[in-house]
Chain A
Amino acid sequence: MNYFRQSPAQRIIGLGSRLLTGYVLVSLGILLAAGGGSWDINNHLLNKPETFFAPPHAVLYSGVALAVAGAIMLFSASRRTESKMIWPIKLAMAGVVVLVVAGPVDFMWHSAYGLDGLLSPPHFVLVSGMIASSIGSLAGMTYHNSMAFREFRLPPALIVLGILPVWLAASGMVDMFSLPFSHTGYFNFDPHPAVGVAVATLAFPLLISVLMCTSSVLAGRRFGVLTATGAAFMATSMLTSMVPNDALVPTIPFYVANIIPFAAADALLSFSRSKLSQYAAGAIMGLTFFMLYYPLITYTYNKVTTNITVWPSLIAPTYFAMIGTVVPLVAAPAVAMGILGVIASNKLVVKNKAL
């Protein structure tokens, strides 16, 4: 017997630090890129930048550079194994390649058509790449952990780091098809107001529920991780969407209150194993979407309510004037999509161990 021959698990642990570093770099890169993207949307609202070389773009493409470094590390680490490259690494790398291709195309688009809207072909490709690479990275971390330690759980910091970029990138995709920010001098890619509202009402609750439920599962249903992930999303959102706009700063306490439903859903998922608790947690998370996606969601729903021009300094009054009407109207679909999110998360993560 060859006592020096490594088991697959040992080999994976041996490669672990390189792979883990690769996954972390990809996730951090996408987090930076998605955060930069969110800041960019607000920069367009507040300052109407006229060139490609704006500070949010610098943050966005620094994130892409970090993700490229992570993908290279993943590629080199995976070539050292005898087995075939696993799908999460392929997905992460494919996503990063798409990101790299989208950069110059975005620059050319800006050069040809000037100020671009939120939804444009290069932006769509860019966000698709972000989603693919962040999902690949999260799945890779989970796969690596389960192979190395026979444990379908991740440390809390990795869960937050893995989930947050997926959440931000996927939210960016939903924003593209719901916010009326895509009408430029050359193209009008704005969604029909009713379509925008339908997309936001159905997709945001589903997204929150799937990702929050997944974070709880990956934490082994330990209390705190779901809340921490929600808090990290809120912190990113505040930094990129509220702090740059002075008029929104007084409303930060309103936004911080969103931690309550996260903690409530976390408690339900952690302290009870019943299906009813899971569905209740999904419903709660779905219901919060209108508050969680403040302030930008104001623009989507304003289109079908008052349809006035929402100047940056008037976002808060416009939002608070409509919240009492909108929340009761969207409650039923939001609850349904929240519950659907729990079911989807269970099917994806728990039953198939897809991650």
Chain B
Amino acid sequence: MPRNKRSMVFFYGKLLRAMVLVAVVAAALAGYFALSVYILPHSYQASLVPRKAAPIVTQVSLPPRVTLGQSFAIFVNATNDGDEADVQTVSIGFPNFTGTDSIKVASHNFRQTPMLIIKGKQVGSEYVGAEKPVDAQYAIVEAMSRPWASGNSYSITLQVTPETEGRFVAFVKSIALPHNGNQAHWPQEGVLDQQKELVKVYTVDVAKA
């Protein structure tokens, strides 16, 4: 075989190899980007169904009346009747208090330590959490489990000492986050609190000693 013909064969062989390599790589990348940027994202957008958590406060226990100076226990138990929640909170608000000196967490089984929030501290509102912060106007105890599995129940017992006689009020609610529908909060109807969220109102008559 003439020398120049051999080098021509070598050259074309190399060229063919390069062309095959480029074609294979280009096809693989075209497939990859189509799959990753368009096909799979659209498919996931359609198929990934958001979880729907459904908080329910199953029990609230507190005495109907107490004597001024006497402390009493508030027991709140809540569950999640829906899918797992990333976060579910149980909140007990005390419009009679601005501070938390008269509130003690006696016991709880939440995954995170309950927070005692005083007047002036920022809290989330309108069921979107920290996206819409507002200043608290009264004391709140907020307990949460992150995550809160489906069917799990958590409870908290507070020891509260009213500071004045008359009607002592407690606002109770439970919220699942992300909040993706009316099922994600309890109660479904009631009074709107400082955070523009529905609460159920419980009262205790505080009589003079």
| A positions within 8 Å CB-CB of B | 46-48, 50, 246-247, 250-251, 253-254, 257-258, 260-261, 263-264, 267-268, 271-272, 280, 284, 291, 308-309, 311-314, 316-317, 320-321, 323-324, 327
Pair B146/A47 contact, Cβ less than 8 Å: yes
**In the complex the two chains form, what is the Cα distance from A261 to B44 in whole Å?**
21
Q: Return chain A residues, CB-CB under 8 Å to B50.
A: 313-314, 317
Q: Does B31 reach chain A (CB closer than 8 Å)?
A: yes
Contact A261 B131, CB 8 Å, known A317-B48, A323-B37: no
**In the complex the two chains form, what is the Cα distance from A311 to B84 in whole Å?**
12
Most buried by A among B32, B40, B84, B113: B32
> What 0/1 pattern do residues 32 to 50 of B give for CB contact below 8 A with A?
1101111011101101101
What band does the interface of chain B fall in when counting residues whose beta carbon is under 8 Å from A?
A: 35 or more
Q: Return chain A residues, CB-CB under 8 Å to B167.
A: none
Beyond A260-B29, A291-B36, 15 extra complex contacts between A and B, CB < 8 Å:
A47-B111, A47-B147, A247-B51, A250-B44, A254-B36, A254-B44, A258-B36, A309-B129, A309-B177, A309-B178, A311-B177, A314-B86, A316-B48, A323-B36, A324-B37
Pair B28/A260 contact, Cβ less than 8 Å: yes
Pair B45/A320 contact, Cβ less than 8 Å: yes
Residue on A nearest B35 in the bound complex, by CB? A257
Count A/B pairs, Cβ under 8 Å.
Answer: 96
8 interchain pairs, CB-CB under 8 A: A48-B112, A250-B44, A251-B44, A260-B31, A261-B32, A272-B18, A312-B86, A316-B44
Give the distance to chain B from A49, nearest Cβ to Cβ, in Å: 9
Pair B51/A313 contact, Cβ less than 8 Å: yes
Q: Does B21 reach chain A (CB closer than 8 Å)?
A: yes
Pair A254/B48 contact, Cβ less than 8 Å: no
User: Main SS of chain B's interface residues?
Assistant: helix
Pair A311/B86 contact, Cβ less than 8 Å: yes
> What 0/1 pattern do residues 1 to 39 of B give for CB contact below 8 A with A?
000000000000000011001001100110111011110
Pair A327/B17 contact, Cβ less than 8 Å: no
Pair B38/A267 contact, Cβ less than 8 Å: no
**In the complex the two chains form, what is the Cα distance from A308 to B35 in whole Å?**
26
Q: Return chain B residues, CB-CB under 8 Å to A264.
A: 25, 28-29, 32
Q: Return chain B residues, CB-CB under 8 Å to A261.
A: 28-29, 32
Q: Return chain B residues, CB-CB under 8 Å to A280.
A: 25
Q: Does B207 reach chain A (CB closer than 8 Å)?
A: no
**In the complex the two chains form, what is the Cα distance from A246 to B129 in whole Å?**
23
Pair B130/A323 contact, Cβ less than 8 Å: no
Q: Does B134 reach chain A (CB closer than 8 Å)?
A: no
| B positions within 8 Å CB-CB of A | 17-18, 21, 24-25, 28-29, 31-33, 35-38, 40-42, 44-45, 47-48, 50-51, 84, 86-87, 111-113, 128-131, 146-147, 177-178
Pair A260/B44 contact, Cβ less than 8 Å: no
Among the listed A50, A257, A267, A309, which residue makes an inter-chain contact with B128, where contact means beta carbons less than 8 Å apart?
A309
Pair A46/B37 contact, Cβ less than 8 Å: no
7 shortest A-B CB distances, which residue pairs?
Answer: A320-B41, A260-B32, A311-B86, A311-B178, A264-B25, A254-B40, A48-B146
Pair B17/A271 contact, Cβ less than 8 Å: yes
**In the complex the two chains form, what is the Cα distance from A253 to B17 in whole Å?**
31
Q: Return chain A residues, CB-CB under 8 Å to B48.
A: 250-251, 316-317, 320
Give the distance to chain B from A150, nearest Cβ to Cβ, in Å: 30
Residue on A nearest B180 in the bound complex, by CB? A314
Give the distance to chain A from B126, nearest Cβ to Cβ, in Å: 13
Q: Return chain A residues, CB-CB under 8 Å to B44.
A: 250-251, 254, 316-317, 320
**In the complex the two chains form, what is the Cα distance from A321 to B51 in whole Å?**
17
Pair B24/A267 contact, Cβ less than 8 Å: yes
**In the complex the two chains form, what is the Cα distance from A48 to B177 in whole Å?**
14
Among the listed A291, A308, A313, which residue makes an inter-chain contact with B131, where contact means beta carbons less than 8 Å apart?
A308
Q: Return chain B residues, CB-CB under 8 Å to A254.
A: 36, 40-41, 44
**In the complex the two chains form, what is the Cα distance from A327 to B41 in whole Å?**
12
Q: Return chain A residues, CB-CB under 8 Å to B112.
A: 48, 50
Give the distance to chain B from A156, nearest Cβ to Cβ, in Å: 22
Pair B86/A313 contact, Cβ less than 8 Å: yes
Give the distance to chain A from B115, nearest Cβ to Cβ, in Å: 11
Give the distance to chain A from B89, nearest Cβ to Cβ, in Å: 12
Q: Return chain A residues, CB-CB under 8 Å to B45.
A: 317, 320-321
**In the complex the two chains form, what is the Cα distance from A64 to B113 in whole Å?**
30
Most buried by A among B25, B50, B112: B25
**In the complex the two chains form, what is the Cα distance from A257 to B131 in whole Å?**
35
Q: Return chain A residues, CB-CB under 8 Å to B37.
A: 323-324, 327
Q: Return chain B residues, CB-CB under 8 Å to A246.
A: 84
Pair B25/A268 contact, Cβ less than 8 Å: yes
**In the complex the two chains form, what is the Cα distance from A47 to B41 in whole Å?**
27
**In the complex the two chains form, what is the Cα distance from A317 to B45 in whole Å?**
6
Q: Return chain A residues, CB-CB under 8 Å to B130.
A: 309
Give the distance to chain A from B14, nearest Cβ to Cβ, in Å: 10
**In the complex the two chains form, what is the Cα distance from A263 to B40 in whole Å?**
20
Give the distance to chain B from A254, nearest Cβ to Cβ, in Å: 5
Most buried by A among B31, B42, B147: B147
Most buried by A among B29, B36, B111: B36
